[in-house]
Amino acid sequence: MAKITQLTLTAESKPGVLAKVSDALAKAGVNITALCAGESSGRGKIRLVVSDAARAKEALAAAKIRCGEEPALLLSLDDRPGALAAVAARLAAARINVKCAYATTAGGGRAQVVLVVANPDKADKALG
């Protein structure tokens, strides 16, 4: 498990927003390693894990795109039924709320899971 930085952007939900964000990062040579984008009541929320958070923030600011950041955890789990359930149960037992979670698999038997929790250090200890 690694402690990482997640960038969070809130914008109007309209065509071209994701294109503008990803283009700004691409031009700065920043790779997007994880992405979660959702929409509610006409507002979009984009959560990103990138190869270089500082450079990404500079590129987004130059493109007049505001973003925030928050600590997150990146877990590499076995890609099998119940792997996430075991992690979630340990966090629940430690009374740690998961504010945001998203995941991907790319084959090879592993899944990458991003978790945003109120207290990453406590979660790290609980998942030990």
Task: Indicate the domain borders of the chain.
Answer: 2-70, 71-127
- pLDDT, one tens digit per residue, over 1-32 is 899 999 999 998 999 999 999 999 999 999 99
Query: Is 71-127 the same fold as 2-70?
Result: no
Beta-carbon contacts of 54 under 8 Å, excluding residues fewer than 6 positions away, are: none
CATH number of 2-70: 3.30.2130.10
- pLDDT, one tens digit per residue, over 49-61 is 999 999 999 999 9
The reported pTM is 0.87
Q: Does domain 71-127 have CATH number 3.30.70.260?
A: yes
Beta-carbon contacts of 94 under 8 Å, excluding residues fewer than 6 positions away, are: 122, 123, 125, 126
